[in-house]
Homo-oligomer: A and B are copies of this chain.
Amino acid sequence: MAQNVAPPPATRPCSGQSCDACVVRDHAICADLNDDDRDALSRIGRRVTLQAGQTVMWEGDDSTVVANVIEGTLKLATSTGDGREQIVGVVYAADFIGRPFGTRTPHSVTALTDARLCLFPRGAFDGFAMHHGELQHRLLQRTLDDLDRTRDWMLLLGRKTAREKVATFLLDMGRRLRADADGVIDLPLSRQQIADILGTTIETVSRQMTDMKRTGVIDLVGRRGVRLVDRQALEALAEAG
């Protein structure tokens, strides 16, 4: 389903395995914990590997687990009764997923690429967090940032045209993802998923991208590759069609 890096070794508990080598330890919510506390937290959790396409949590389910993303990209989504889907967030390495301090999972979480998580039972995590203000503070900061970003996205969904939506999306990916030597970004999303983020259809996304390619603003290479040739023009398109 995705053209990704080879999956990591296996699923095993964090306990007995140090966080020292963790690549996201300085960026995840555990960054402010001292070594002892971080060890204590790691003993609650375990490493889990996911394959692209796997769903970790379903909308409406009981909230039983939360997790740090160690590696990979995942989507958060909700859908209507008749199957229309809206992606409400995309999370990357070091991000936090799940609903702490609440009983219901508000949206599904699905891996877009192969991914690794540091997974905690929610109850245990909540208990730990209640006694560790640094952790809650970090979580609060992150949640406030998420809320700001989410509200910004509402402007896109409610008020922007298809062209503005696609341009905004591409700039956003350009900011979040690293381009290769040729300046090409490898999108972790299919056209359908892009449409589900932007609240449009796959055909509209495709047409807008083709137009932008024709006018030289971007370049499309293969299915998932994009080069942002003229960022300034793209920014203009993102603002007012």
Contacts and interface: CB of A to CB of B under 8 A. Distances in A.
A11 interface: no
A1 interface: no
Interface in A91-122: 99-102, 106-107
A89 B86 CA distance: 19
Interface of A: 76, 78-82, 84-86, 88-89, 99-102, 106-107, 130, 133, 136-137, 139-141, 143-148, 150-155, 157-160, 198-199, 239-240
Copy number in the complex reads 2
A167 to B, nearest CB: 13
Q: Which among A84, A152, A159 has the greatest number of chain B C-beta atoms within 10 A? A: A159
B155 A153 contact: no
A151 B80 contact: no
16 contacts: A76-B151, A79-B155, A80-B155, A82-B239, A86-B155, A101-B140, A106-B148, A106-B152, A136-B136, A136-B137, A143-B144, A150-B154, A153-B154, A157-B158, A157-B199, A158-B198
B78 A151 contact: yes
A81 B159 contact: no
Contact of A148 (B99, B139, B140, B158): B99
Given A78-B155, A80-B240, A136-B137, 4 more contacts: A89-B151, A101-B140, A150-B151, A153-B154
Contact of A101 (B141, B160, B240): B141
B150 A101 contact: no
A59 to B, nearest CB: 10
A138 to B, nearest CB: 10
B88 A159 contact: no
10 nearest A-B residue pairs (beta carbon): A158-B199, A157-B157, A88-B151, A106-B148, A84-B159, A86-B155, A86-B158, A140-B140, A157-B158, A133-B133
